[in-house]
Amino acid sequence: MRQLTPSVADYLIPREPFYRPVADEVSLFQHAWNAQLPVLLKGPTGCGKTRFVSHMAWKLGRPLVTVACHEDLSASDLLGRYLLSGDETVWVDGPLTSAVRHGAIVYLDEVVEARKDTLVVIHPLTDDRRVLPIDRLATVLSAPPEFMMVVSYNPGYQSVIKELKPSTRQRFVSLEFRYPPPDLERDIVVAEAKLDVDRAARLVKVGEKIRNLTDRGLEEGVSTRLLVYCGKLLAQGVEARSACRAAFTRTLTDDRDLGRTIDEIVADYF
Amino acid sequence: MPPWARDVAPALSLLRADAAALRAWFRYRAAIRDGIGEAEAEAYGRLVAKVARHDGELARIVAVTIPDHLARVPAGRRSVYFSLLEEIGATRPEALSLLARTLPDLVDALDDEALRSFVRQGVLLHEESHQKAESFLKRESGAALAAVNALNGGVALAEVSRTLTLYARAHCGEDVQVRPGKGRAFSDGHHVYLPEVIEQFGDERDFAMYRVLTAIGAGYLEFGTFDLALDQLPAPLGGWPDVRDDESELERWFRSFSNRSLARELFQLLEDARIEAHLGAEYPGIARDLAVVGAAMRGSRPEPTGAAARAVEALARRLWALEELALDPSVSEAIAPLWTLSRSLGTLAVTDVARAVQENYPTIEALMLRAQPSAPPRSQGSERIRLPGEGATPPEATFQPPAMGTRIAPEAAGEPERRAEAEARALREAAAARGEEITLAEARERRREGERRRESLADATAFAQMEAMLERHAPPGGALVDAGTAVGGASATQATGIPQDPDVTATGRNYVYREWDCTIDDYKPQWVVVREARLREGDRTFVDEVMERERHHIERLRRTFQALRPEGRTRVRGQPDGDELDIDRVVRGVVEGRVTGERSERVYSRTLPERRDVAVAFLLDMSSSTNEATAAGGKRRVIDVEKEALIVVAEALDAIGDPFAIYGFSGYGREHVAFYVAKDFRDAWDDRSRQRVGRISFKMENRDGAAIRHATRKLAAEPARSRLLFLLSDGKPLDCGCDHYYDRYAQEDTRAALREARKAGVHPFCVTVDPTGPAYLKRMYGDVGYCVIDRVDTLPAQIIHVYRRLAL
């Protein structure tokens, strides 16, 4: 029987991803990795969770396997499956299995989107056993010390109903992410978008005001990622109001009145 | 002349024209006379008679339409209402019924002359198309808004209030609301009141003015004006005035001055300057707009003569960088410290401004006292000297506020806001007693937090009660029975002489149903005619308001519904692609391949999540009794509450894609049970459907049995595994259009219809929006699920809960 697993080189992060620490998350993560503890990241969309994980994978020199979770994700999507090739079956590793084999960091993005019964497969990996039983291969993989499980979710638009089971949740140490404080966010926009400090600062203020509308019309506030996008448009020489309209207004809402409000907030600063 | 004599002439002309019009007129004339007034009843009679001379049928429609809408016209404008109707009746009678419906909203928005001009434009459009005229007169079309603006000049608040509300919220991060302020701009700390229209410039600067006013109004919250706490200020001699429960800290502080108006003006001036300084520093765009509209906002300044008034005016002019006032040295000296302070306002807090006012108030008050030696000072038990007329403004202190400036008006706060404020203060004191220092703003936030928790707790209790109730009513099963026979077409409608309902488009088919007669213990076959009609699209405002107000609620429900996804899974075999190899099929495939040379590729199995398969219909009682206020809900009418709940639930249902329909029913007599379709199963839940729900209004009687039978028929035709029928009513089936459909007969028929529904595989569920609901409900709904709800806000939650239980 043949077995296929993707090569480790595909998952290595070649260059340092830009990341500005907000608090002690870098050292906490590093200690968690040393202590072989799984980590849960929570925070609103676009506040830097994924970037943080790539940064840490690079820093720790580990390959990073990312799985975007969704409702139809099944256990075999994670573990792997048999395929037919001619008269023989071929086992193809799923992302979780190959991460365990390579001692990688596996990152389950938006983990609550996956169904609860699917998530049960990660349980043996996330306690002190650190093993991955694969029934269909009749084997139990032991995770090497470098292996680490990281999951993320966004408590903002997920309701209380869509929650992790306590039995899943209590296997993790949790790091909470928020939008960075204004000065830091400004530096991030400056660095990522290559924008001047003055306009970056104004963008960040626009962002702050728009975030005031969260739950008052907007489902979620404007993300740092969108601020960076807008900054990139500005750095390209796009006129401020139309850049903001493209990056914020049209992206955040289809509601005409709300859109006008966002335009007016932009006009407060540009 | 006796009252009846006046009626003879119109009655005669109506009789000649159209008997049905005469009946309608007869029915409503007295109601208008008693409920509204003699003059109106007469104008009504005159108008109907006039129309009848040309067109009997139209007269009938007008006779039926006007009474419903007349009540919405403010008393002073009713003569205009009738005179416009008469004018249009003479020139373009076809537009009359449309006008009768749309005018009440217009008379509020436009003055007489603008109104006439606007209506004439609308009627001109009517010659092109009825639809265009309708959306114009309802001010829905762009052309209409432009026309209103052109007639009014400037920008109307109604057009921009939502944008401004959101804008204010973005600035201050609190749930403020923009409201019309009857021509003035002020804020009570919870609302930003703005003038209904701004027409200073006639171009985009009018909106800029709104924007600046909103920013200042929100600025009071953003920069803490309403967070003034007296314990951070030096107490006056004799201490602070006693605490009053229904009063904000600011009001209490104003009360500590002998001349409140003077203190208030000083505070207002400096505080506004402080807010403007903060706004300018934070928002370059506002500073820009303020430079443009500032002069118009301040208005032309007066030249007061009294020393204190001059002092305040001089300070104002300096703060606003206007031409200075020539001053006596003593006056100049009096305001010098405040002027010095004002240059650093951008870094100060409200406490600093209040302290400065407290410190400088005596010198300025002294100016006034010197100028008014004749006013005898009165001793009030303390050494302080008080001016006569506490609260009233002595002539000396009169200050003309800026023409358009926003005022700080904590006294404008309503009763709920005051209660909230008092609770927040109590929280703060309680925290202080525990040795915890929190600001007033933090206390307010804590109070809100607690309120949210209580709300969700109340929801949970309602859920638990519902759950227990549902346990007693297991979903029924059974076979389909004959629901009724379709007869006739739209032609029957014309023959009946029932007035064409202005709220519906073409009437659809008619259906005949049997009815249960408990007096003979048998069905009367072919007894009731149900006429199905599709509602027209109505006004957007109702739906928009509900969607805006209930935004959080809708969002929460939507998530709840999404979470209603069944967690079950089914395994399907023989797939070309899937999670797992199906070993049996692989082996079979290999064998087949060896034997026939062809092998099946379908060797995988995959798990699929189970889908819910449910169709739900809402059947709404639209009888006139739903026009009554709900017992618990204050002024809100049953029908509005029902509509609101429907919109909220529909939004949630739409999110999960379950097919649903919204029907209403009313009618008069057994041959005219009207069945209104706002949204059928095949309609999308789009703006048009929402507007049709907005069109739902109370009509006449409710013959529940027939409507239930018809809804059952429609539901039974849906190819779903489970079918739900929600009956929303006031629990009083009643049809005065015939002499026996009331009390026991009506209840027994309703009960029979519900029983039939169950047999047809439909799960009925009855919701009665009336806590004082009659005692026979249990008997009437007894064998199907029902609930009586007292708190209308829980209706959507209740529906969801039933839904969860029945649909899964």
Boundary of a domain, candidates B412, B427, B455: B412
Query: Residue A38's pLDDT band (boundaries 50, 70, 90)?
Result: very high
Give the pTM.
0.61
Q: What residues of B are in the A interface, CB distance below 8 Å?
A: 160, 162-164, 166-167, 169-173, 175, 211, 215, 282-286, 551-552, 555-556, 559-560, 562-563, 565, 567, 569, 579-581, 586, 590, 603, 607, 609
Do B175 and B198 fall within a single domain?
yes
Answer for the pair A33, A120: CB distance below 8 angstroms, yes or no: no
Boundary of a domain, candidates B109, B127, B152: B152
Cβ atoms < 10 Å from Cβ of B276:
23
Given this model, what pLDDT does residue B379 score? 38
Taking 80 as the threshold, does the pLDDT of residue B251 lie above it? yes
Please report where in the chains the tokens 């129309």 appear, as a residue. Answer: B51
Given this model, what pLDDT does residue B154 score? 76
Rounded Cα distance, B308 and B370, in Å:
10
Q: Render B613-633 in DSSP notation, one character per residue.
A: -EEEEEEEE-SGGGGSBPSSS
Do B204 and B148 fall within a single domain?
no
Query: Residue A234's pLDDT band (boundaries 50, 70, 90)?
Result: very high
Higher pLDDT, B246 or B568: B246
By mean pLDDT, which of A133-137, A259-263, B42-46, B313-317 is the weakest? Answer: B42-46
Q: What CATH code is carried by the domain that includes residue B790? A: 3.40.50.410
Given this model, what pLDDT does residue B775 score? 66
**Chain A nearest-CA residue for B279:** A268
Do B647 and B582 fall within a single domain?
no
Instruction: Look at residue B801 and tell me if it is in a domain.
Output: yes
Cβ-Cβ contacts under 8 Å, B569 against chain A? 117
State both tokens at B367: 């100016």
Query: Residue B56's pLDDT band (boundaries 50, 70, 90)?
Result: confident
Do A31 and A132 fall within a single domain?
yes
Q: Which residues pair with B336 in a beta bridge?
A: none
Given this model, what pLDDT does residue A16 score? 93
State both tokens at B646: 């429907």
DSSP 8-state class, residue A79: H
- 3-class SS of residue B191: strand
Do A109 and A219 fall within a single domain?
no
Which residues form the domain of B163? 156-412
Residues 6+ apart with CB under 8 A from B627: B637, B638, B639, B698
Across the range B327-353, mean pLDDT stands at 89
Boundary of a domain, candidates A160, A176, A192: A176
Across the range B336-344, mean pLDDT stands at 89
Do B201 and B304 fall within a single domain?
yes
Taking 70 as the threshold, does the pLDDT of residue B397 lie above it? no
Do B672 and B694 fall within a single domain?
yes
Angle at B122 between CA B119 and CA B123, to 5 degrees: 90
Do A242 and A209 fall within a single domain?
yes
The answer to whether the Cβ–Cβ distance between B580 and A136 falls below 8 Å is: yes
Query: Residue B475's pLDDT band (boundaries 50, 70, 90)?
Result: very low
Cβ atoms < 10 Å from Cβ of B330:
13
Question: What is the number of H-type helices and E-type strands within chain B?
Answer: 29, 20
Burial (CB < 10 A; 0-12, 13-18, 19+), residue B327, is middle
The answer to whether the Cβ–Cβ distance between B579 and A74 falls below 8 Å is: yes
For chains A and B, CB pairs below 8 A equal 86
Higher pLDDT, B226 or B652: B226
Do B550 and B594 fall within a single domain?
no
Question: Chain B within 8 Å of A136 (Cβ-Cβ)?
Answer: yes
Do A33 and A126 fall within a single domain?
yes
Taking 50 as the threshold, does the pLDDT of residue B481 lie above it? no
Across the range A172-196, mean pLDDT stands at 94
Average pLDDT, chain A: 89
Taking 70 as the threshold, does the pLDDT of residue B458 lie above it? no
Across the range B415-441, mean pLDDT stands at 81
The answer to whether the Cβ–Cβ distance between B579 and A76 falls below 8 Å is: yes
Do B222 and B338 fall within a single domain?
yes
The pLDDT tens digits of the residues spanning B748-784 come to 888 888 888 888 878 888 777 665 665 667 677 766 6
Cβ-Cβ contacts under 8 Å, B160 against chain A? 260
The interface predicted TM-score of the complex, written ipTM, equals 0.83
Cβ-Cβ contacts under 8 Å, B568 against chain A? none
From the list A151, A146, A154, A184, the residue with the least C-alpha distance to A30 is A146
Do B165 and B96 fall within a single domain?
no
Nearest CB to B580 within list A72, A81, A264: A81
Average pLDDT, chain B: 76
Instruction: Look at residue B647 and tell me if it is in a domain.
Output: yes
The answer to whether the Cβ–Cβ distance between A216 and B286 falls below 8 Å is: no
Helix (H) or strand (E) holding B562: helix B551-562
**Chain A nearest-CA residue for B590:** A87
Given this model, what pLDDT does residue A230 score? 96
% of chain B with per-residue pLDDT over 90: 9
Q: Are strands A88-93 and A80-85 parallel, antiparallel or unpaired?
A: antiparallel
Question: Chain B within 8 Å of A10 (Cβ-Cβ)?
Answer: no
By mean pLDDT, which of A50-64, B365-379, B675-689 is the weakest? Answer: B365-379
Instruction: Look at residue B431 and tell me if it is in a domain.
Output: no
Do A150 and A236 fall within a single domain?
no
Across the range B251-271, mean pLDDT stands at 90
Identify which of B77-81, B491-495, B763-767 has the greatest average pLDDT.
B77-81
Nearest CB to B169 within list A115, A213, A268: A213
The answer to whether the Cβ–Cβ distance between B167 and A265 falls below 8 Å is: yes
Answer for the pair B647, B503: CB distance below 8 angstroms, yes or no: no
Across the range A49-77, mean pLDDT stands at 91
Cβ-Cβ contacts under 8 Å, B555 against chain A? 219
- For residue B666, the distance in angstroms to the closest alpha carbon of chain A comes to 35
- Phi/psi at A107 (5° precision): -120, 110
From the list B779, B668, B661, the residue with the least C-alpha distance to B713 is B661
By mean pLDDT, which of B51-65, B132-146, B529-543 is the weakest? Answer: B132-146
Query: Residue B494's pLDDT band (boundaries 50, 70, 90)?
Result: very low
Q: Which residues pair with B785 in a beta bridge?
A: B765
For residue B768, CA distances in Å to A225, B114, B728, B751 come to 49, 45, 6, 15
Across the range B423-452, mean pLDDT stands at 80
Which residues form the domain of A49? 2-176
The answer to whether the Cβ–Cβ distance between B579 and A205 falls below 8 Å is: no
Do B525 and B654 fall within a single domain?
yes
Do A203 and A73 fall within a single domain?
no
Query: Residue A179's pLDDT band (boundaries 50, 70, 90)?
Result: very high
Cβ-Cβ contacts under 8 Å, A199 against chain B? none
The answer to whether the Cβ–Cβ distance between A74 and B282 falls below 8 Å is: no
Do B76 and B187 fall within a single domain?
no
- Phi/psi at A181 (5° precision): -60, 155
The answer to whether the Cβ–Cβ distance between A77 and B170 falls below 8 Å is: no
The pLDDT tens digits of the residues spanning B280-317 come to 999 999 999 999 998 888 888 888 888 888 888 999 99
From the list B123, B75, B68, the residue with the least C-alpha distance to B99 is B123
% of chain B with per-residue pLDDT over 70: 77
- For residue B211, the distance in angstroms to the closest alpha carbon of chain A comes to 8
Rounded Cα distance, B665 and B639, in Å:
12
Rounded Cα distance, A221 and A212, in Å:
7
Buried b (16+ CB within 10 A) or exposed e, B97-129: bbbbbbbbbbbebbeeebbbebbebbbebbeee
Number of domains in chain A: 2
Residue type, B493: T
Taking 80 as the threshold, does the pLDDT of residue B672 lie above it? no
Question: Chain B within 8 Å of A254 (Cβ-Cβ)?
Answer: no
Given this model, what pLDDT does residue B323 score? 87
**Chain B nearest-CA residue for A203:** B283
Answer for the pair B297, B320: CB distance below 8 angstroms, yes or no: no
Nearest CB to B563 within list A77, A89, A159: A159
State both tokens at A95: 């992302």
Query: Residue B532's pLDDT band (boundaries 50, 70, 90)?
Result: confident
From the list B302, B311, B303, B304, the residue with the least C-alpha distance to B366 is B311
For residue A37, CA distances in Å to A186, B159, B174 come to 33, 56, 40
Given this model, what pLDDT does residue B608 score? 72
Question: Within B597-703, where are the H helices?
Answer: 638-656, 687-695
Do B177 and B112 fall within a single domain?
no
Nearest CB to B607 within list A71, A74, A219: A74
From the list B131, B132, B119, B129, the residue with the least C-alpha distance to B89 is B119
Do B604 and B636 fall within a single domain?
no
Taking 60 as the threshold, does the pLDDT of residue A257 lie above it? yes
The answer to whether the Cβ–Cβ distance between B170 and A209 falls below 8 Å is: yes
Answer for the pair B81, B103: CB distance below 8 angstroms, yes or no: yes
Given this model, what pLDDT does residue B774 score? 59
Answer for the pair B386, B378: CB distance below 8 angstroms, yes or no: yes
Please report where in the chains the tokens 């108006």 appear, as a residue. Answer: B261
Query: Residue A119's pLDDT band (boundaries 50, 70, 90)?
Result: confident
Boundary of a domain, candidates A121, A141, A176: A176
Query: Residue B387's pLDDT band (boundaries 50, 70, 90)?
Result: very low
Do A218 and A98 fall within a single domain?
no
Rounded Cα distance, B443 and B434, in Å:
14
Please report where in the chains the tokens 């009506």 appear, as a residue. Answer: B746
Given this model, what pLDDT does residue B199 score? 81
Taking 80 as the threshold, does the pLDDT of residue A81 lie above it? yes
Number of domains in chain B: 4
Given this model, what pLDDT does residue B392 score? 42
Rounded Cα distance, B336 and B438, in Å:
35
Given this model, what pLDDT does residue B21 score? 74
By mean pLDDT, which of A61-70, A229-238, B29-38, B730-739 is the weakest? Answer: B730-739
Taking 50 as the threshold, does the pLDDT of residue B495 lie above it? no
The answer to whether the Cβ–Cβ distance between B170 and A71 falls below 8 Å is: no
For residue B640, CA distances in Å to B551, B621, B627, B646, B772 come to 17, 11, 8, 10, 18
